[in-house]
Each structure stands twice: as structure tokens, then as C-alpha cells.
Structure 1
Amino acid sequence: MEFKDYYKSLGLERSASQDEIRQAYRKLARKYHPDVSKEADAQERMREINEANDVLRDEEKRAQYNAMLDQIASRGSYSNEGFQAPPNWDEGFEFHRSSDGHSADHAEFSEFFSSLFGQAQQQQRNQRNQQVRGEDQHAAIEVSIEESLKGAEKEIVLRALKHDEQGQLTFENRTLNVKIPMGVQPGQYIRLSGQGSPGYGGATAGDLYLEIRIAPHERYRVEGSDLYMNLPVTPTEAALGASIEIPTPNGKNVSVSVPPNSRAGMKLRLRDYGLQGKTHGHLYLVLEIVLPPALSEAAKQAYRHLSEVIPFDPRHDWKGHAS
């Protein structure tokens, strides 16, 4: 995915006012509109200008875009090609997202635009006095593996854009207490009824959907509903086999059998010790053979003796293949 610098597309600084955005767009539109332009890349430039204008003239989209730019700046450099938004850049940011897919107005906008703004974000209101249910809103929430396994009550703070008494757009924080159900998995949603945008004309409010993300863990890695953990073993344990006691995500220790002649990278499965849900995940132990350091003369002598007793060449397959 290619990063889009919307300010650069319109030749503006980040501090540009709405009037400056309008003037820049009109000037560039007169130059690149395909009906009048003689520029070879007029159609592509016009598409780029329209996309930049769509984001920067919309106060909510612009605020979200600026929030992502701040995260990029805090992380240093980034790649223009193959760009990926910073992990969880939108966490804690409450935004609108319609469910009707990509609108016709945005059909030709870039993948970058769609990835940030959830495709179409429009709500149709045909009559001013009509009752219209409030928009659903979406936000991301990060939970720990332990909270996913056991359930929890969690206080979260969401940022939403609101107009103040002077009509200026500003961020407003709101605090919610959320019940994390036991067995929730990454990518699932928690629905909070009536916590979305207020209804129009006295209609009911929309809902708030919280997308579950699992926080990085010092010991376990999450892949779907499965968990992975590196299990360090000694060369002796790997060669002869061993019974090893390990910690599990639910807080209990269990004994596992390492089979004789195990190799680094071998996986041992503990059934149903992964994330819980309609289908339980598993815990996979990835063997990691750790060599004792040869720091003393006795340790060095032991290694020499081992090489004599068990002559072993891990590169024997290379013989006869030299170029």
C-alpha cells in the first residue's frame, strides 16, 4: 500500500485553514480537470486531488489523519512503498463507519484511503424532520491474554470529535466501563447498545462496536485462537527426552514430555490451552535448544570429550556439493 501525503497533494502545510484548503483545491482542479487540462497525467492528478480534498475538508477525517501522522513522526522514518499504518494507530479513537461498503463517490479512491477511513462514511437523511436512528460507531480495545481467558471489567477512555460552544471541532473524552466476556478472541466485536451517535429527531442512538485486539505478551504469541511459546531445553533434555514443568496462560503449571531426539523448532501441542471460545485454541510449545556456555576449563573439557564420544558433523550434507 502506498502512503498518501494529502497536504503535499494540495501543496499545503499541515496548519492550513479550511479557506486555504478550498482555494488550493479550486486552483488545482482548474489546472488538472480532464475536460480542460492538457497535462498528460491530468486524470490521475485529479483523482489524487479529489481524495486529498475529501479528507482535509472533513474535520473528522482530517483529525484522524493527523493523529496517524503524529504516530508516524514518533516512530521515525517509514517506507512510502509498502506502507503500513502504525499498529493500533486508531486505538481509543471513536469514529463513524457505515456498513454499506464503498460509496460511489469514493469508488476510485486509493487503498490507503479505504484502510484509514473504513470505506464509505455517509449517512443519508432525506427529510429534516424524519426520525433517523443514530450512526453506529467503532473503536478498538486492547485486552490481555489473561483478560481474554478469564473475562474482566475494564475501564476505557475513548476520544470523539465534538463541536464546542464556539462551533470549533475539538476532542472530547468519555469513559466507559466495559465487560470483557470470557473467551473473546482477536477480531471479534463487543457491542454496546445505545453508546453510538445520538438519534435524529428523537430516534434511538446507534451502537458502539469495540473491536478486540490482543496485547503483546512477554511469553506467548497469538495466532488466531492458538498461542505459541518458546520452550528452552538443554541438549541433554532434547537428546534423551525429559519431563518439564511449564506455566500455562490460565495460571496453572503442567508437566510436558519432551521426546528423545527432539530437534530445535519441534512443536509440542497442549490441547485446549489456547484462547477459549466456541472452538478452543491450543498452546504450542516451540523447542529451543540452549547450549550451556563453555566458561570454565571443566566445561570446555566436557565439550571436547563429547565430540570424541559422539563424533557428529552437522554439515555432512555439504560434502561433494562445493562449487
Structure 2
Amino acid sequence: MATQLDFYAVLEVSRDASPDDLKKAYRKQAMRWHPDRNPGDAEAEEKFKAVNVAYDVLKDEQKRAAYDRFGHEAFTQGGMGSGGGGFGGFGAGGLGDIFEQMFGDMMGGRRSGGRHTGADIQIQVEISLFEAFSGVSKEVSFRTRMTCDVCGGSGSADPDAGPSTCPTCHGAGKVRAQQGFFLVERPCPTCHGSGTTVSNPCRACQGTGAKQTTRTLSVTIPAGVEDGSRIRLSGEGESGGKGAQPGDLYVHLAIARHDMFERDGAHIHMRVPLRMTQAALGTDIEVPVIDGSMAMLKIPAGTQSGDQLRLRGKGFSVLRSSARGDMYIHVAVETPQHLTKRQRELLEEYEAEAGEQDRAKASPEHASFFARVKDFFEGKG
């Protein structure tokens, strides 16, 4: 079944989807099928893994181009368009590893250097925009299989009894089955990929060498990470049992939206409302910055609603760099409401005192618009 997955269908996007569309679709599907939201649902966990595999391929231009042209054949070592060493020069260790990982994830484990390893674990962590800016350490808890503390991972209740060769796979640790055009390789169901069995299995782990438990780890999230970033913790995934290598833990990051700041790569955008008098006369105001400080911003006289002002170096931190982006202020001029009698009189005096030419200078866009309206009707007549 895994061989027939369509990566675009998995993410529910069209084949001409943009990188932004892919990222949005990935985040939506990852949150939808995340194991924490679907506890005990094996189908949801499988779909969550498939979503991550699909995004891993489609977010990379070269891998996506290979997939678009050759489909899953591009990920095999003897893929189409190659001379037997893999498509486009990727070969073994490139796209083929991703396809191999997809099979391993969806069948309960991976193979590394010919040995069975534990399954990778995928979890999602939501952080605030401030935590993404400055970096943070987060404690994460997740369900996993760890080496059995009773038998030490041997799977045997008798520490003196050695393991014997598995009668199903004859020590290979894997079995093969034909599925249509494809030959699918799976971990052996009898020995779970170890290649050996025990005559007196441990009661605590039923001879598998691993037990289900809850782990808590501290994950260091570097400053400047983007929404959808992934952190890999090698060897922190599920135990392979019976001395096999453990899988990896993948932490997928989701950055919560902020009600004031909007991130655009290394830049920050913020909407700042101004009173009519501030915009007309000009002023200096203080605005908050993502690092928690305040910055002085000069508002020029005659600033219009929609004008954009920039504060250099006040934007987001750049990953693995001391550089920072810029902060862009989008001005919104408010028209005064609930005027007192005196305030209304002053505005009326201003309107009456200003001649037509003065009004045109004070509000050039207004004058230009109505001049075009006049020309339109005169031309139509």
C-alpha cells in the first residue's frame, strides 16, 4: 500500500502547488493526523508519517522534480533515467534513503547498514513567536518503546540461555513479499527483525526486548527557527529490541500566531494606528520590538494611512547568525469620532478657511480622484 501513495494527494494539494501552499498544507495535515490528537489510532499515526515523508520530498526542488517526472521510481537505486546508480546522481544515500525511510516508518522500523532499527517517532511542538526569536528549551513527553529493564533487552527470561536462529527468516531479520510489480521487504514478524528468537521469553516484554513507556526529554530549539522546521534527535526514537539500534525522534515545530507582530522570513510587520493630528503634524512614538525592548519611531508630518516606515535591524533573528531582519511599520490613520462641539467648530473653521487650492495641496489624492470623476462624466456626456 505504501508504494502507491501519491505525495500530492497525501498533502491534499494540486501538482502545481507553490512552496507556501505546500507548507500550509503540510502544517494542516500534520496537525490533523498528529498522534497526540488521535491517541491510540494506528491509522492516524500512519497517515502522520506519510504526511512527513511527502513533505520531505516535495519541499525540495530537486527531489520534487524527480518525483514529478518518474514518481516513486526516482527514489530507487536503479531508478528510471539513471545508469544504474540512481536518478539524477542521487543514487543510494539520496532520494533512495527517503523512500527506504518511508517504508521503514510505515512498517514499524528501518534498516541501517543491514541491521533492523527501531521506528522513528514524530511529535509536534508549538512555540510562541518570542520563543522562536530567542530560542528556547522545551520539555516534551511522548509514548515510545524502550529497552526492557527486566531482561536488559535480550528478550529472554533466562540470562544464561542464548538466542537461536529465527526459523521464519533464517536469521535474515526480514521477509519479502510480492505486491504486484513491487517486491516489498518487511521486518520478520516472528523475530521482529533481530534474526533470532528465545526459547524462554521475558514476561515483561513478551520476548521483544522492549516495553512501552512515556519519556520526557528536553529539546533545545535554536533562535530563528521557522514554522514547519524539524529537529532530529538521533537515537531517541523507539527501541529496536534485542540489542538493535534505536530509531530517531523528529520534533516538528509550529509557531503560534501573534496578535501584534507578523513574521515574514527575517522581517517583522506591525500595524500602528495614529491619530489624525499625529499623522498631520508629525510626531515621535515608541513602538514595541520583538526582543522585548521599545524603539523610537519618527512619524513625518503628512503621513498617510497605508504608508510604510522601516526600523533597520529590529526584525527577527536569523538562524545560526547574529544578523537580524528589519521591522516594517504599517500606518493606519484614524478619523476622529465623538467630537465635542468645540472640536467640530474648529474642523469646520479649517474647512471654511482653506481655499480650493489649499485643500488640493493638503489632500492631493482626494483632489486628483474627483478631478478624474469630473473628466469621466464630461467625456461620457
- 1:285 Cα deviation (Å)? 0.9
Aligned partner of 1:122 among 94, 103, 121: 103
CA distance in 1, matches of 2:348, 2:110: 85
- Is residue 2:330 matched to residue 1:286? yes
SS at match of 2:116: coil
Show CA shifts across 1:159-196 (max 9, x none). 679xxx99xxxx98654332222333333322222222
Q: State how many pairs are aligned.
A: 231
Q: TM-score, normalised by structure 2?
A: 0.49
In the alignment, which residue of structure 1 is the partner of 2:376?
Answer: 321
Alignment of 1:10-89 (within 5 A): 85=28, 88-89=31-32
CA distance in 2, matches of 1:296, 1:86: 54
Check conservation: 1:90, 1:140, Cα contact below 8 A: no
In the alignment, which residue of structure 1 is the partner of 2:209?
Answer: none
In the alignment, which residue of structure 1 is the partner of 2:346?
Answer: 302
Aligned partner of 1:242 among 262, 283, 302: 283
Structure 1: gaps (5+ residues): 1-49, 56-64, 66-82, 108-117
Comparing 195-204 with 223-232, greater Cα deviation is found at: 195-204
Structure-2 change in CA distance of 1:274 and 1:210 (3 Å): farther
SS at match of 2:257: coil
Q: What amino acid is aligned across from residue 197 of structure 1 in structure 2?
A: E
Aligned partner of 1:206 among 231, 247, 251: 247
Aligned partner of 1:266 among 307, 314, 325: 307
- 1:304 Cα deviation (Å)? 1.8
SS at match of 2:350: helix
- 1:244 Cα deviation (Å)? 0.7
Structure-2 change in CA distance of 1:244 and 1:126 (3 Å): closer
Show CA shifts across 1:78-117 (max 9, x none). xxxxx99479435564753556776749x9xxxxxxxxxx
Check conservation: 1:241, 1:261, Cα contact below 8 A: yes
Pick the structure with greater CA Rg: 2
Structure 2: gaps (5+ residues): 11-24, 37-44, 58-62, 76-97, 146-204, 207-211
Check conservation: 2:144, 2:237, Cα contact below 8 A: no
Aligned partner of 1:193 among 234, 237, 240: 234
SS at match of 1:89: helix
Q: What amino acid is aligned across from residue 299 of structure 1 in structure 2?
A: Q
Check conservation: 2:138, 2:221, Cα contact below 8 A: yes
- 1:319 Cα deviation (Å)? 2.4
Instruction: Compute the RMSD of aligned alpha carbons.
Output: 4.3
Q: Percent identity?
A: 27
CA distance in 2, matches of 1:145, 1:276: 11
Structure-2 change in CA distance of 1:184 and 1:304 (3 Å): same
- 1:258 Cα deviation (Å)? 1.3
CA distance in 1, matches of 2:334, 2:213: 52
Structure-2 change in CA distance of 1:172 and 1:297 (3 Å): farther
CA distance in 2, matches of 1:300, 1:91: 58
